[in-house]
């Protein structure tokens, strides 16, 4: 059984049940959670039953698919309610969020409120309870970083969930959401989930530690950005005429899946319509054929991506999500090809300008950006496939820049990888594409949609539509490749900055002790210095020093490691790596200077 078969459990419930365990039972919790996850689950309405053995059964009462109280998890063993089984099933289940998925559209119960932006006072400072919540999040996050994936079992995860719940109650939704993301990433890693990506987990840890560390000293608008928004209000937006762009399948680490359809208005603003619910990759693959829940329209998401919508009484969230309130009216309208207006204007913006917009939306403390700020609309020429450490990628040329196009998701239920391989057999083909920027020292993006190779007025959703041989032009119809060849530029894996990234991810994966071997990072530091990254070399040396430094008591015995000192060193290196990567990314997307033969 996987997490998908279990109802989501609120963070406070898991923290309460695990916290009530005796020290002896806590030592057995990880093994018990693994065994419980392997048991079959039977759903009966809002109740899920799991047979622990021939005599003991667990019941989870989950109205709406979420367990919201400790009493809703019942066990038939003699030690209940203080038994190991209840804690094990709570630790194995997905973590429930107050707002389950970032792309979940508004429902009929959404209330549109006047569009008044909150004004942050320069004198606004965090109250004592928020400072305490941030300190608890920092301590829990530092403990997870010190332990690594294998050491961050159910007990440490419960402490992090407890801190997340306290932060949520204290009005800190952003750091609370970051803590939940770390727990989801840890569980995916420990269960060998195919969706696990070490880089994503490291990013979540960085977000948690950065917000928790900075928040106690923040004021004004910075404090407002670090606190985040618990629930995005839908504001009236009058009448809208939208044109479908593409549909993107989504799978979240928290056990939710579905699809988001991207649309554009005549002025170029992007809007999304989503169908996200508890489920796995199968639901993501099937969501495109579900009917859009917006007004009286009978369009599916796949149909909307090629057609259009006319809305009256529209309500929109600050990030461009369309609400589905009772007052919203929607009817089908004609769509537009990517080469026609108003959609064609999206591809007229220079690539460097699009990249700058995407990086601004990712900046720490940036205000909430509108939908699609990180999307790039480009015209490219396919070069072919290239092999990288993380798997094959597709090389293409755009404005004399060599781009690396990668799969947005690797799960076999989605078509990303198969479609990339098919496109790799079209060297010289000129395609219009949509991708999501991946900050890196060389131009890179996740490929989300492409124009059909033989029928440019059609489009292919990379995760949903599977290209067939019949869709590809004959070899004679493909133009020879133009522009730089596949070997242009150094491979990304040889970029000096990746040495720092690798050590940061190793710390997340294996914990502080992995970096505590004296001299193990000396060669990396030397190479960074030779490559004009002296600050990165100094931060790497400081990170190893923090990993190895241990104080002694008056009798010469080693004291426990200072997890806070190590977390600070790791966070400093991680923030530097992010800033340096964004700077290199900006430079990489600048058009080459013909006079010098390079950027």
Give yes or no: residues 356 and 480 share one domain: yes
Grade residue 480 by pLDDT with cuts at 50, 70 and 90: low
Give yes or no: residues 463 and 420 share one domain: yes
Domain boundary among 310, 336, 362: 336
593 lies in a domain?
no
DSSP β-ladder status, 8-9 and 66-67: parallel
Give yes or no: residues 502 and 468 share one domain: no
pLDDT digits (tens, 9 = 90+) for 515-561: 988 777 889 999 999 988 999 999 999 999 999 988 887 887 878 88
Grade residue 101 by pLDDT with cuts at 50, 70 and 90: very low
> What pLDDT shows up at residue 19?
94
Give yes or no: residues 475 and 458 share one domain: yes
417 lies in a domain?
yes
Give yes or no: residues 360 and 473 share one domain: yes
Return the percentage of the chain with pLDDT > 70, whole number: 87
Give yes or no: residues 379 and 474 share one domain: yes
121 lies in a domain?
no
Answer whether 320's CB lies under 8 Å from 370's CB: yes
> What pLDDT shows up at residue 570?
97
Give yes or no: residues 469 and 378 share one domain: yes
Give yes or no: residues 439 and 413 share one domain: yes
Q: Coil, strand, or helix at residue 23?
A: helix
> What pLDDT shows up at residue 367?
53
Which residue, chain included where needed, has tokens 């059964």? 57
CA distance 442 to 463: 24
pLDDT at 366 over 90: no
Q: pLDDT higher for 364 or 139?
A: 139
* CATH code of 443's domain: 2.40.50
Q: pLDDT higher for 67 or 368?
A: 67
pLDDT digits (tens, 9 = 90+) for 188-242: 899 887 778 898 999 999 999 999 999 999 998 889 889 987 766 778 888 999 9
Domain boundary among 166, 194, 227: 227
Domain count, the chain: 5
CA distance 173 to 211: 11
pLDDT at 100 over 70: no
**DSSP category for residue 218:** -
Give yes or no: residues 379 and 272 share one domain: no
119 lies in a domain?
no
234 lies in a domain?
no
596 lies in a domain?
no
Give yes or no: residues 458 and 404 share one domain: yes
Q: State the average pLDDT for the chain.
A: 86
412 lies in a domain?
yes
pLDDT at 98 over 60: no
Give yes or no: residues 528 and 576 share one domain: yes
Spatial CB neighbours of 574, under 8 Å, sequence gap ≥ 6:
202, 205, 206, 209, 210, 504
CA distance 471 to 466: 10
pLDDT digits (tens, 9 = 90+) for 118-176: 444 556 889 999 999 999 999 999 999 999 999 999 999 999 999 999 999 999 999 99
Answer whether 507's CB lies under 8 Å from 570's CB: yes
> What pLDDT shows up at residue 562?
86
Domain boundary among 202, 227, 252: 227
Give yes or no: residues 390 and 480 share one domain: yes
pLDDT at 597 over 70: no
Give the residue numbers spanning the domain of 272.
Answer: 240-336
374 lies in a domain?
yes
């Amino acid at each position: 059984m996987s997490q998908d078969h279990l109802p989501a459990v609120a963070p406070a419930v898991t923290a309460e049940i695990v916290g009530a365990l005796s020290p002896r039972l806590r030592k057995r919790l990880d093994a018990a959670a693994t065994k419980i996850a392997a048991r079959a689950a039977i759903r009966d309405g809002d109740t899920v039953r799991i047979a622990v053995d021939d005599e003991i059964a667990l019941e989870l009462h989950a109205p709406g698919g979420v367990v919201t109280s400790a009493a809703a998890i019942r066990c038939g063993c003699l030690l209940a309610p203080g038994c190991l089984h209840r804690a094990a099933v709570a630790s194995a289940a997905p973590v429930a969020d107050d707002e389950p998925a970032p792309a979940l559209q508004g429902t009929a119960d959404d209330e549109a409120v006047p569009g008044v932006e909150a004004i942050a006072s320069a004198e606004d400072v965090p109250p004592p309870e928020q400072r305490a919540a941030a300190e608890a999040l920092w301590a829990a996050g530092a403990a997870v970083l010190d332990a690594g994936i294998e050491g961050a079992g159910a007990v440490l995860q419960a402490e992090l969930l407890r801190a997340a719940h306290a932060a949520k109650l204290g009005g800190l939704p952003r750091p609370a959401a970051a803590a939940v993301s770390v727990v989801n990433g840890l569980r995916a890693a420990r269960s060998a989930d195919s969706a696990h990506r070490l880089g994503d987990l490291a990013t979540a840890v960085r977000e948690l530690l950065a917000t928790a560390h900075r928040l106690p000293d923040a004021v004004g608008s910075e404090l407002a950005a670090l606190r985040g928004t618990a629930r995005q209000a839908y504001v009236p937006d009058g009448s809208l005429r939208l044109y479908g762009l593409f549909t993107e399948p989504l799978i979240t680490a928290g056990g939710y899946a579905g699809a988001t359809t991207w649309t554009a208005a005549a002025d170029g603003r992007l809007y999304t319509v989503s169908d996200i619910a508890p489920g796995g990759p199968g639901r993501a693959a099937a969501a495109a054929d579900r009917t859009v829940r917006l007004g009286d329209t009978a369009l599916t998401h796949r149909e909307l991506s090629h057609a259009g919508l006319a809305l009256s009484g529209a309500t929109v969230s600050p990030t461009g999500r369309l609400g589905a309130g009772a007052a919203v009216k929607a009817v089908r309208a004609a769509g537009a090809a990517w080469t026609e207006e108003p959609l064609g204007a999206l591809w007229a913006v220079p690539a460097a300008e699009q990249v700058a917009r995407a990086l601004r939306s990712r900046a720490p403390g940036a205000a909430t950006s509108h939908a699609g700020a990180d999307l790039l609309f480009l015209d490219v020429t396919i070069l072919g496939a290239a092999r990288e450490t993380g798997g094959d990628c597709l090389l293409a040329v755009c404005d004399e820049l060599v781009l690396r196009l990668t799969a947005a998701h690797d799960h076999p239920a989605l078509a990303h990888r198969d479609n990339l391989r098919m496109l790799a057999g079209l060297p010289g083909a000129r395609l219009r594409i949509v991708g999501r920027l991946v900050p890196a020292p060389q131009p890179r993006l996740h490929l989300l949609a492409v124009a059909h190779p033989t029928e440019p007025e059609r489009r292919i959703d990379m995760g949903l539509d599977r290209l067939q041989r019949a869709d590809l032009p004959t070899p004679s119809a493909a133009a020879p490749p133009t522009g730089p060849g596949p070997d242009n530029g150094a491979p990304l894996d040889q970029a000096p900055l990746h040495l720092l990234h690798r050590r940061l991810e190793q710390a997340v994966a294996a914990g502080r002790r992995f970096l505590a071997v004296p001299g193990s990072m000396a060669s990396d530091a030397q190479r960074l210095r030779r490559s004009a990254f002296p600050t990165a070399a100094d931060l790497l040396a400081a990170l190893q020093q923090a990993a190895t430094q241990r104080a002694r008591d008056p009798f010469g015995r080693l004291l426990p490691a200072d997890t806070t000192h190590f977390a600070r060193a790791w966070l400093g290196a991680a923030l530097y790596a992010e800033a340096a990567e964004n700077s290199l990314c900006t430079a990489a997307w600048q058009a080459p200077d013909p006079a010098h033969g390079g950027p």
